[in-house]
Each structure stands twice: as structure tokens, then as C-alpha cells.
Structure 1
Amino acid sequence: MVEIRGVGGPLPRIPDDLTLAQFMLDSHTPIKPVRKEGIPWLIDDETGRRVGFEELRMRTFGLANALKLKYNIGEDDVVCIYSSNHVDYPVAIWATHRLGAIVSGANPSYTAPELAYQLELTKSSVILVHPGSLPTALKAASLAKIPTNRIILFDPLPQSGLPTLDQLINEGLSNEASFVERRLKPGEGKKKLAFLSFSSGTTGKPKAVAIPHYSPIANVIQMAVQQKVNEDDKPWDGRRFRPGDVSSGVLPFYHIYGLVVNLHLMLLSGLTVVVTAKFNFEEFLKSIQRYKITHVWAVPPHVVLLCKHPSVKNYDLSSVRYLMAGAAPLSAELTTQLTKVLRNSDLGQGYGMTETCTVVTMYPTAQKIGTLGSAGQLIPGCVARVVKEDGSIAKIGEIGELVVRSPSNALGYFLNEEATRETFVDGWVRTGDEVYFNENAELFVVDRLKELLKVRGFQVAPAELEGHLMDHPDIADCCVIGIPDEFSGDLPLAFVVLDNKAAQRVAKDPTEADKIKASIIKYVADHKIKYKQLAGGVEFIGSIPRNPSGKLLRRLLRDQAKESRASEGGKAKAKL
């Protein structure tokens, strides 16, 4: 049996008797650096407002006190946060935890029925809402039968009649404590729920992942140990994470990557997080330059823009010393392009999922540039197996499904025993990802099992073709799907977003479109075996649909291709 184990450690004790709020705000651990006076925890990207430790701690108490006084929030109640990133987002989380309640972060782009589904499944008691999302929140609350007076705004909205966080915090601070903070018994942190975070599954409705307090605490400690936070292993200038460094904060905090890595790991490591409400690439470049951001947490679409967008050359990005991409595989080709943009940065990938809360692998501190195409090495405390289709355990270099055991693993899916049994098996999480490990114990993600194409009996990974296509000079972004074919099974079809210059050529001369498509097909044909070629063709599209964590929404493009071919009155045929 081949099991791969995380390198590094040993891990310090992972507290199993603390809530996440207590771990972040009240406790001390050898891995937590001391911030010098004047180093803020958070900066609001838009206004420049700086928020320090004492203010965060004070606001957390004030909000917790008001939530208890006004709404009687207590043990195991659920507070839904339906908002883009905000400097008070962690305050909302930790205040909820102070009361023994549970946080459920919702995508601020949800429609009313989607939000109502989350509210109903989690049985949310109150909703904290960004003003821009209020109309949807009101509709969803009505559908979920939550009274309007249980909606709270992050910022004022004239004539809404709804309370704001500032108002509640001031009310809470002006009153005596109305609650006794929840204290966990030894071991209780492994079961006491902190989050109901929704998994971005590609089939069916999203599932609520039940995450106890112990899981994010464990994962932050695991990452800190692997990344040598607060260790004297190198001179100050050579350390990867240092108090006083500045991290981007563009990843959505409702998503597990943004929540655990971008927010909690960075704050624990002594970095300042520049909180950005809504991602706009040019504004992001300005933010890097304005705040001299040193650490960037990214998803592949961000990397594509850094490599391809014409505005990049107009900004000074020399402050960036570190970038990690996650949430979806990043091709070797794109990583190579990125090294030419951020020449002095450590660059690499990590891998994780909501069900493992969060990170399973990261590129280690020994590598300035992570091994191309690799998602890094297992963090300490993680154990992995690769299970082949026949159920046997794969050897090094063999492909199969990644199965992971980690102290950070979630408990299962909330109120969904069937799905829990399928994914959470005897302490292991079945990831649904097709992977292999090399001889250096580095993880390589081939693709989602359900996304692999079968072309004439051969397996074709869309991610491989996408990585190759991104080096074509006319392509700004792309996604490969399979379209059904009676002869071949699947035919690879590339949806392509044209580079600005190529799009301008097509606008001036429509015949350029066919020339570009032919060149793309030839580009793949010149480099890939026949069954990997684009027999399904090339289609131009304005943008590639992705979820907020950066994962490609192939299902939407498959549906679009199906409808397109149905309207043409026939199925696509292979070009033999």
C-alpha cells in the first residue's frame, strides 16, 4: 500500500477546546508572530481605513452582544453572511462564534431562489447583507419565511429602515454583556460546528459542508508549519511570511479558500490583508501598487489576466514577493508565462477543497518556483492515497482518485447522509479528482473524474488541452468540453475568448474568424496525438463562465453546445 505523508513538523498541539474566534483573538501559539505596533490587521482597499487588533476585538464583542440582545442568537443558531468582502466580515464571523452560533457564508451573486435554498437548508436566523445585495436578500428572506427585521446591513442604505453593523456594534458596546461566551470542553472543538460552507459541486444543488472549529484551526497550523511561519530558518529577507508584509484580499471570504487561507492564515501570520469588495483587474493592479502588496492569493483567471492583459505593463508590481494559485489547476505553460511577469516572486500552486477545510498541498519554501504543473507537496498531518479504478492503491506515477485524511477534514454534509457516505469514508475524503504523485511526493491534478473525456476509448483531460491553448497568441482564455458523437464518444470542443488584437482583426474582417479557428485547430494538431485534437471544433465566446473560486463551469458550456447543435438540426460528426 502506497501512502504519501505530509513532510515537515512535528505539528504543535492543535487546540480542540477553542472556538475559531478564541484561537484568533485570545490565544497564543508558538507559530503566531508578534506584530509590531502600528501594523494593522486589515486595510479597506477603497477607503484606506486601517483596522488593528484592539478595534477588531472590541467590534467583535459589540456585535456579539447586540446579536444576543436584539435577536437572541445563541447556541447552534445559524447566521448567514450574504456579502462581498468587507473589513467587518471577520467581525461578523467571530461575533457569531462568541455566541456558540454557526456561520454560513453565501455567494453575493446568488439569485433569490439560490439564496433562499441556502437559508432554508441551514435554517438561518438572521442575514447580514451588503447593501448592493439587499433587493435579492429581501426576496430570498420572503421565500425562506425570514422576517425583514432580521436582515442587517454591513453599510448604511438610506431609507431602508434596516439596522447596520455599526449601529449594532455601538448598541452592543453601550450595554453590559448579555451573554456568557461559549467555552468548549476538551475534544469538543472537533464536533462543534463553526461553518456551513457550500461546496461548488457541478451536479445537483450545492451541499452544505459541516465544518467544526477544529478544522480551520488545524489547517491554519498545518500551513503555518509547512511555510515556516515565525521560524528562524532563514535571514529576515528570505522568509516567506513576515509581520508587516501585505496580502491581497480579493478572494471571496464566503469561499473556503478565501476564508481559511486568504483571511485566517494571513492574519495569524502577522500580515495585513487589503480587503477588496469586488474584483476588478485594473483596480487590483492599482491596489498592488498603492499598498505595495507583497503576497497575492489567486485563482487561474487572475493569472491569465496577469499574463495577458495589456494594462499590466502600466503598473509597478515589483512589491509582489509571493503568489499562490489554487481552486483549479494551473498549467505549466501559464506558470512559465507568469514567471516573466513577476520576475522576483515565489510562484506556485496549492490544492484543497471545502470538504478538507482547506489546503491539502502547497509548494514548499524550498522552491522559489513550484514544480511546473504540480500543486505542491502534502502539508504536515495530511495522508493521501491514490485509488485506481479497480479499487487498488496506485504506485508513484500511477493515476487514480485522490483520497485524503487530515485533521482539518470536515465532518460531512449537513443533513445529507447519502452524500456524506459517498465522500467521507472511514476518516478519509474522496476528492473526486484524478491525480498522481511523482517521486518527490508532489501532487499533479489531471482533472475532475467527471470531466475526463473519453475519445475512442482514450481518456482526454480538458485541462491539458486548455494549458496548451493558452500559449496560442490569439487566445485570452479558453475552456474545453466534450460533445457527444456516435462514433468517437466525445469530441473535444474548445470555447475560446479572443485576445484584444485578434478580436479587432475579426471585427475589421469577418473572414479572419475562420483563419483564426483553423490556426487554433492546427496548433493543437501539431502538438497532440490524434485523439486529443479538436475534432469538435472551435467556438468563440465573450467570456468563460466560472464560479467565484475560479473553477470552470463546463456544464454551462456543454448545455450551450448542445442547444447550438440542436438548433442546427444535427449532431456534430467527427472529422476522420
Structure 2
Amino acid sequence: MKLVELLVGKHVSAGVGDRVSHVDPDIGEVTYAQLHDAVVGYAGALRERGIPAGARALVVADDSVATTAAILGLWWHGCVPVPVSPALSDPELRFMAADCEAAFAHFDVPNAARRELGADIDQLPHTTGDEVRTIFMSDTESQAYAPAAVAEEADWAAGQPALIQYTSGSTGSPKGVLHAATGIEAVAASVGSLLGLGPDDVVLSTAKVSFGYGFGNSVILPLAAGARTVVLRGGVDAHAVHSALHRHRPTVLFSVPRMYVALLALAASHGTEATASLRLAATAGEHCPAALAERVRETFGVPLVNGLGATEALHFVVATPPAAITAGATGLPVPGATATVRGEDGEPVPEGTEGRLHVAGPSVALGYLNRTEATRRTFADRGVYTGDIVRRDDAGELWYLCRADDLLNMGGYKVAPGEIEAVVREAEEVAECAVVAVSDENGLDQAVAYAVPVPGADPSVVRKAILALLRTRLAAFKRPARVEVIDVLPTTSTGKLARNRLRESAGREAVVDR
């Protein structure tokens, strides 16, 4: 399978290469023909630099058309892109580079951030986003990225890893998920048909390409459909999204529940003109409460597709179709996928009984990189267990209940409490700590960190020390919304931590420290 042909080349061959593929804040509009030339040129540069086909390439980059061109160029050359967030900490990035045995890197981060990555990453053979942008911004083709210098596009075999995306397991240790080209094709066909994406659509995603949900939203789905992608660079907050909605008039918005909460607040004060161009909205990354979904539908006047996905299955595996569905339901399997509710023994459970969500279909990944036991547990019974607890009603609709493990679901990112607790414990005067998740007024999860200081320590000083560590050691999406310093952690009669009592306490407060 030729991935660039699947996503870009077919449009050029069909004579519609002058259609706009991206609207990028740095270079403006880019056509499919321009994107194709840049991809071919990028692959040629890899060849000239002696990067072998099959090499894994760490892509540490914010969203841009240059990032997309680099990923597609790696595919053309037969390399495996490993997109990771530039917001991750230096130790996390070094771990991922070593774990995937990266032989190459693509950077699109500020120079100051590059200097902090460490010699073991920064000294890899690499390209930069600025280098790729020169192709789009110059009237003449860059000599270093000349299309004539490239060989024929790589043909990916079934069962051959073509993409690695990192996720976190119940221990918080990142795991590389191995995706085949057939999975990428399956998402384009199944989710694309579910959403009815076409060449007249303008797509805006608040989730980044380095996040599995965002990769599908901004790379696979719009390109396969011949649609136009609006790129959001830098920090994404409600005001930035509201401005982009006004300026670019997207027809499809991909976001997460808590962003919809913020957009609803702006709509209450500024009206709904910004969302007037939408024909469809989609949400995923974390559970969307029924009341919130209904508010989005009523306020913006468009169908809301509520999707449940997993990095292990690349994108949506269960979703509510744009047509009416029971309020609060998580939905039905996407076309081509099979979803069952299973017990601990791996056998399907009766309707109405809660159990583990198991998904089978062509988008399910090949397994985890270097994690034989984790692969055996998760990719079992001819499919994958997503880690969600659900139930199926008598109409066949699935209902999300909770996570199967103790992961916190923060804005769509799965974060282990132990990962946050390990950072909190680094504060010299912290004796004990615990992190719990509580629901805010919109029904979305927020993390709260509780710390017990050593005797005689000033609580205010301890709290400041913890906040400083969290801001320097954890990516923003992993930081708890609040830090509380208390005298003692509650325990059960057997001496175990009473997390339920912490959750009750946290739910009575509303101060955010981020």
C-alpha cells in the first residue's frame, strides 16, 4: 500500500491538485499539488542524506503543514514516523527516542526548547520545520528538496509497522503502539464515511497531530477526503479556537469535551456566529456527559458525533452517528469494526451487563513495541481491550461507564496518578501524597493532588515547592488542577488509603492551580 498516494497523490492524479489542502498560519494556503511536491522533495532529501528505509524517525513538532509534509515524506521513503508532543518533558522524549531506537528526527520547536532536549536527541541526523517551510515559501524549488532526487514511493506490506504512537499504560510508562498501513486506510474509509467527509469540507481540530485523535483529524481523514485542513499552532485555548472559527469558517470541528464547555461559555457572551458555518461537530478523548452533548447540539445547531477511541485502534472505534441516537449513549461500532462487551474470562456478557470493551477490526494495531507481556494482555481474543468499562442495551447501543484501571482521563490524555505522585514526592518536605480524580460542574475529570508535609514544615512553602516541581517536571496536560496540603491522608479500617474520601473532599472545592 502506498500511503502518500492514498492521502495526497490520488487528488493530484485526478486533476484536482490545485485544491487547497492546508491553511497554515505561517505560510498561508497550500494546495495538494504543492504538498505532494514537498513530500517528494523531503523523501529525496532523506535519500541524499543516507537515511535507510525502515528507519524510525522521532517527529517532535507542533502542528503545521511542514509537520504533515515530513510525516508523509517519511512514509514515501519507507521510514516509520513517531510523532510526539513537544510539550513532553526532556526525560520523556529521551525515553521515547531510545525506546523506538530513533535513527532520525524532525524538529519544529523553538531553538530554546531544542537546546533542552539533550545531546542524545539533538545530535540525531535531523530536519527542521523551517527547512521544509522554505519549499512552500520560495518561488523556486529548494535544491535540497528537489523532487527529481527521489525514488518511487515505498509500498507498505500488510503487517508491517508504518506508524508508532506513544500512549501511557496503567503504570504511566509510555508504550509505543505499532500501526500498520492497513489501519490508516481503514480509518480513512470507516470514520470518513461515518462523518461524510468530502472535498467541500473545511476541518478544524483542537487536538494536536502528536495525539492519536488529532493525527486522524488533521492528517488521515481530511487528506483522504480531499478536504481543507486549518492548522492551529501553539497553545490552543477557547479564544484561539473561537478566532479560528470566525476567520476560517470550518464545516467540521473536532475537539474534546472541556473545549466545548469553554466554547459554550463564549457563545453565551458573544453569540454563535463563529460556529454558523459548521455542519458537524465531533468530540472524543474523554467521556462527554449527556447534558454537555445536548447543550452543544442545541447551542450550535449541528449534530455532535460522540466518539470513543483508543491509541491502540488509531481513532474512533465506537461513535454516535450524526443521525439521532439515544441521549447519553456512547454509540455503535464504526463501519468495519466489531465491538463486544466481555467479562474477565474474555467471554461476552449478556445485554445490560457491564464489562470490558473489546474491539476487533482493521484499524486495531499490531501490538506494543518492546512490550511482549502488555501486548499479550491487551491485544487478545483477536482484537484489543480498550481499557473502558461499558454496557450494551437491548437496542445494541454501547454506554460508557468508567475506565477499567486507575488512569486519570485529563483532556483526553491518560495519566497515571502514580506519575504525578512521584513528582510531588520529590519535594523535600513532603511525607505522603495521593492524587485523585473528581468531576467538575460539567461532569469532566479534574485531578487533585493531596500532600502531607513533614512535621514542622510550613504548608504554604511545601505547596509552592510542589507547584514548582509540577510545572518543570510534567507536561501541562499532566498537571493536577489543584494542590492541597493537609495534615493526614484518610485511611480505611484496614489502613489502606481511602481515595473515596479524598474525592468527596476534592469535590467540595473549586480552586484551580494550573
In which range does the TM-score fall when normalised by the shorter chain?
A: 0.7 to 0.9
Instruction: Decide which of 186, 202, 223 is 2:191's aligned counterpart.
Output: 223
Larger radius of gyration: 1
- Can you list the C-alpha shifts for 1:137-166, whole angstroms capped at 9, x where unaligned? 34434145x526x232212xxxxxxx5553
Q: State the partner residue of 1:20.
A: 3
Q: Greater CA deviation, 252-261 or 382-391?
A: 382-391
Q: State the partner residue of 2:456.
A: none
Query: What secondary structure is seen at the aligned counterpart in 2 of 1:373?
Result: coil
Shift of 1:78: 1.2
Q: Which runs of 5+ in 2 are unaligned?
A: 409-435, 452-466, 492-497, 505-514
1:181 aligns with 2:153: yes
Query: What secondary structure is seen at the aligned counterpart in 2 of 1:222?
Result: helix
Q: How does 1:75-224 map to 2 (within 5 A)?
A: 75-132=53-110, 134-144=111-121, 147=123, 150-155=125-130, 166=134, 170-174=142-146, 176-184=148-156, 188=157, 190-224=158-192
Q: State the partner residue of 1:346.
A: 303
Q: Distance in 2 between matches of 1:84 and 1:361?
A: 28
**Pair 1:482–1:405, CA change in 2 (3 A):** farther
**Pair 1:452–1:372, CA change in 2 (3 A):** farther
Q: Distance in 2 between matches of 1:452 and 1:136?
A: 29
Q: Distance in 2 between matches of 1:108 and 1:95?
A: 20
Please tell me whether the aligned partners of residues 246 and 275 of structure 2 are also in contact (alpha carbons under 8 angstroms): yes
One-letter identity of the residue aligned with 1:80: L
Q: State the partner residue of 1:265.
A: 221
Instruction: Decide which of 2, 10, 20 is 1:40's aligned counterpart.
Output: 20
**Pair 1:481–1:449, CA change in 2 (3 A):** farther
Please tell me whether the aligned partners of residues 55 and 103 of structure 2 are also in contact (alpha carbons under 8 angstroms): yes
Shift of 1:306: 1.6
Query: What secondary structure is seen at the aligned counterpart in 1 of 2:172?
Result: coil
- Can you list the C-alpha shifts for 1:8-67, whole angstroms capped at 9, x where unaligned? xxxxxxxxxx13223113348xxx9979685411111x3571111110110101111011
Query: What secondary structure is seen at the aligned counterpart in 1 of 2:142?
Result: helix
Q: Distance in 1 between matches of 2:335 and 2:475?
A: 24
Q: How does 1:55-454 map to 2 (within 5 A)?
A: 55-70=34-49, 72-132=50-110, 134-144=111-121, 147=123, 150-155=125-130, 166=134, 170-174=142-146, 176-184=148-156, 188=157, 190-227=158-195, 229=196, 241-278=197-234, 279-309=236-266, 312-313=270-271, 316-342=274-300, 344-367=301-324, 370-389=325-344, 391-451=346-406
One-letter identity of the residue aligned with 1:107: S
**Pair 1:78–1:37, CA change in 2 (3 A):** closer
**Pair 1:570–1:431, CA change in 2 (3 A):** closer
**Pair 1:211–1:103, CA change in 2 (3 A):** same
Please tell me whether the aligned partners of residues 40 and 147 of structure 2 are also in contact (alpha carbons under 8 angstroms): no
- Can you list the C-alpha shifts for 1:185-238, whole angstroms capped at 9, x where unaligned? xxx2x22221110013352311000111111111211123334x4xxxxxxxxx
Shift of 1:136: 3.5
**Pair 1:33–1:347, CA change in 2 (3 A):** farther
Query: What secondary structure is seen at the aligned counterpart in 1 of 2:240?
Result: helix
Query: What secondary structure is seen at the aligned counterpart in 2 of 1:421?
Result: helix
Please tell me whether the aligned partners of residues 204 and 229 of structure 2 are also in contact (alpha carbons under 8 angstroms): yes
Shift of 1:180: 4.2
Query: What secondary structure is seen at the aligned counterpart in 1 of 2:356?
Result: strand
Q: Distance in 2 between matches of 1:294 and 1:372?
A: 23
Q: State the partner residue of 1:508.
A: none
**Pair 1:314–1:175, CA change in 2 (3 A):** closer
One-letter identity of the residue aligned with 2:88: Y
1:479 aligns with 2:450: no
Q: Distance in 1 between matches of 2:77 and 2:211?
A: 22
One-letter identity of the residue aligned with 1:102: V
Q: Distance in 2 between matches of 1:426 and 1:91?
A: 37
**Pair 1:109–1:35, CA change in 2 (3 A):** farther
**Pair 1:151–1:270, CA change in 2 (3 A):** closer
Query: What secondary structure is seen at the aligned counterpart in 1 of 2:64?
Result: coil
Query: What secondary structure is seen at the aligned counterpart in 2 of 1:214?
Result: helix
**Pair 1:335–1:304, CA change in 2 (3 A):** same
1:51 aligns with 2:30: yes
Query: What secondary structure is seen at the aligned counterpart in 1 of 2:277?
Result: coil
Q: Distance in 2 between matches of 1:270 and 1:141?
A: 39
Q: Distance in 2 between matches of 1:357 and 1:478?
A: 23
Please tell me whether the aligned partners of residues 36 and 243 of structure 1 are also in contact (alpha carbons under 8 angstroms): no
Aligned length: 443
Query: What secondary structure is seen at the aligned counterpart in 2 of 1:380?
Result: coil
**Pair 1:65–1:570, CA change in 2 (3 A):** closer
One-letter identity of the residue aligned with 1:142: A
- Can you list the C-alpha shifts for 1:116-136, whole angstroms capped at 9, x where unaligned? 11111111122211232x434
Q: Distance in 2 between matches of 1:313 and 1:438?
A: 38
Q: Distance in 2 between matches of 1:164 and 1:270?
A: 22
Please tell me whether the aligned partners of residues 86 and 276 of structure 1 are also in contact (alpha carbons under 8 angstroms): yes
Length-normalised TM-score, structure 1: 0.69
Q: State the partner residue of 1:12.
A: none
**Pair 1:398–1:35, CA change in 2 (3 A):** farther
Please tell me whether the aligned partners of residues 106 and 126 of structure 2 are also in contact (alpha carbons under 8 angstroms): yes
Q: Which runs of 5+ in 1 are unaligned?
A: 1-17, 156-162, 230-240, 454-461, 472-476, 485-540
One-letter identity of the residue aligned with 1:52: T
Shift of 1:466: 2.9
Q: Distance in 2 between matches of 1:171 and 1:452?
A: 49
Q: Distance in 2 between matches of 1:313 and 1:226?
A: 29
Query: What secondary structure is seen at the aligned counterpart in 1 of 2:65?
Result: coil
Please tell me whether the aligned partners of residues 299 and 549 of structure 1 are also in contact (alpha carbons under 8 angstroms): no
One-letter identity of the residue aligned with 1:95: G
Q: Distance in 2 between matches of 1:61 and 1:107?
A: 25
Shift of 1:83: 0.9
Length-normalised TM-score, structure 2: 0.77
One-letter identity of the residue aligned with 2:282: M
The Cα RMSD (Å) is 3.5
One-letter identity of the residue aligned with 1:246: V
**Pair 1:33–1:268, CA change in 2 (3 A):** farther
Instruction: Decide which of 435, 439, 449 is 1:466's aligned counterpart.
Output: 439
**Pair 1:147–1:166, CA change in 2 (3 A):** same
Q: State the partner residue of 1:571.
A: 490
Shift of 1:311: 5.3
Q: Distance in 2 between matches of 1:314 and 1:341?
A: 7
Q: Distance in 1 between matches of 2:13 and 2:390?
A: 35
One-letter identity of the residue aligned with 1:297: F
Q: Distance in 1 between matches of 2:312 and 2:334?
A: 16
Please tell me whether the aligned partners of residues 85 and 252 of structure 1 are also in contact (alpha carbons under 8 angstroms): yes
Percentage of matched positions with identical amino acids:
22
Please tell me whether the aligned partners of residues 251 and 549 of structure 1 are also in contact (alpha carbons under 8 angstroms): no
